[in-house]
Every structure is written in C-alpha cells, then in structure tokens.
Amino acid sequence: MSDKPKVAVHKFASCDGCQLAFLNAGEALLSLAQQVELVHFAEAGPMNPEARVDIAFVEGSICTAHDEERIQAIRRNSQYLITIGACATAGGLQALRNLADGQQWLAEVYASPEYIDSLATSTPISHHVKVDHELWGCPVNGRQVMGAIRSLLHGAVPVVEQDKVCLECKRQLNVCVMVTKGEPCMGPVTRTGCGAICPSLGRDCYACYGPAENSNTEALGEAFRQLDVLPATIGRRFHFINSGVEPFTAAGQRWKRDE
C-alpha cells in the first residue's frame, strides 16, 4: 500500500447506518485521518466516486441495473474491497423481496410504481464482484471497521470473526435469556462481533450479525418450537435481517412452510 493509503466509502441500497461506524468513532477518526486519505465518503463530505483507492468500503446491496455497473467500476478501482453490514454482505432486509413477488409489493406500496426502476432481487456485493473481506452486522461497529483498516495498514489479513454470540455472552457473564426466560434467542446460530449487546440488556438476540460458522439452524428452530413459538414466527426470526444468506434462507422457508 502507498505511504498514505487512499480509502473510499461507497453506498448502495442501505440505510446509511453502517457509515456511522466511521463517523461515530470519535478520537479514532482523527487517528484514521492521519493514517489514511479519505478520498470518497459522501456522508462525511469528500466526493470522488471514481478515484483509485487502496481500500474501498462498500455499504448496501445491489438493487438496480445502475448498481450493477457501479460495483464493477469500484472493484476495478480498488485494491481491497470490504463490505460493511448486512445489506452489502447478505442482501439486507430488502432481500426479503427475493422470496416474494416484488412487483406486487411495489404495486401495493407506491401510487405510481412505474417510476421505480429496480431489479427483482436485492443481492450482496459478493454475488457481483470478488470481495476481500466481509464485516457483518446491522449495523457494523467502529471496532470492526477500525480493526480491518489496522490489519491492512500493517500488512495483515483482517481477523474473521465467526464464532457464536453465546461465547461472548458468557464471557460477559450474562444470564442466558433462553434458558431462564424461554426467549427464542438467536445467539446460538449468530455471528459474534456485536459484544452480545441484546442479551446484555436482558433481551434475545435477533441475529443481525448473520449466521456463525457451523450453525445448526435446524436444532435451534426445533428448540424454539419446544418453547411454543409458532412456526411462522420462527421463520421470521431466521428471515428478519439476513434472509439472503444460507443457512438462514432455507431455515426461514422451512418454518414458514410449516405455518
């Protein structure tokens, strides 16, 4: 990488929330500005979407024909491409339309749907171009984005966080909400990285960080059923944020079928 590596933050179909992981970083943001040159980051000010960069962060999913062209150009202009958040990494909430009739939804929601020019699907960046590293979460946090930049700045491969939320939850000595309160907690199949925020506040995890490695969605769904959670509700838990990624896609569909 160059002496002062160039960094871009691009946005596709998303809520902008993941970009706040940079903007809310506080002191680390000043340090970041010393270490790298932020050449494109529309939400923060700098605008140069066509610039060649060392690291491109990409938020959002691919939802339009224009998106498809833009992501190809970004890939060509970037040495490392890192997706941030559930939209860019798994298709986001909007990937629910992949499992439904999107045209019908458009007709139901908009008075003049003919003005909307979008693809039938919402897909993650990795379906279109090679992705070097994925940061999961809805939204991602500053620790994740700064950690990835730090690794790349020093020539190391960023650490892949793939363990279950339960491990972090127990390190924080939280009491398990599933075992004590019968809450349908998604922690046992969900990727770590958030710091077990929800169980720390006494509520169940809703899987916003996507599937952990080696996740047994079948056994967890059956356990929820034992807790008297309705099949359709179990299906929605798997499809809530990350419906566009396996094994959540299949698990959600299986329980929605059992409705």
Q: Which residues are at the interface with other proteins (CB under 8 A)? A: 28, 31-32, 34-35, 146, 149-150, 153-154, 159, 162-164, 166-167, 170-176, 178-182, 185, 187-189, 202, 213-216, 218-220, 222-223
In the numeric block, the tokens 């809310």 are attached to 24
To other proteins, the closest distance from the beta carbon of 224 in angstroms equals 10
To other proteins, the closest distance from the beta carbon of 31 in angstroms equals: 5
Least Å distance, CB 44 to other proteins, is: 17
Distance CA 25, CA 31 (A): 10
Partners of residue 81 on adjacent β-strands: 56
113 phi/psi in degrees, rounded to 5 = -60, -15
Instruction: Judge whether 200 and 224 are in contact, CB under 8 Å.
Output: no
The residue (of 11 and 164) whose beta carbon lies closer to other proteins is 164
- Indicate the residue among 139 and 188 with the shorter CB distance to other proteins: 188
Report the 10 Å Cβ neighbour count for 238. Answer: 27
CA distances from 114 to 31, 100, 107 (A): 47, 19, 9
Identify which of residues 227 and 230 has a Cβ nearer to other proteins in the complex: 227
Nearer to other proteins (CB atom), residue 63 or residue 251: 251
- Please state the closest distance from residue 187 (CB atom) to other proteins, in A: 7
Closest CA to 97 of 86, 105, 109: 105
Query: In whole angstroms, how close is the CB of 62 to other proteins at the nearest point?
Result: 29
Instruction: Provide, for the chain, the percentages of residues in helix, strand and coil under a 3-state DSSP scheme, each rounded to the nearest 5.
Output: 45, 15, 40
Angle at alpha carbon of residue 86, lines to 20 and 105, rounded to 5° = 110
Per the CB < 8 A criterion, the answer to whether 137 and 18 are in contact is: yes
- 120 or 160, CB closer to other proteins? 160
- If the CB atoms of residues 28 and 106 are measured against other proteins, the closer one turns out to be 28
Please state the closest distance from residue 25 (CB atom) to other proteins, in A: 10
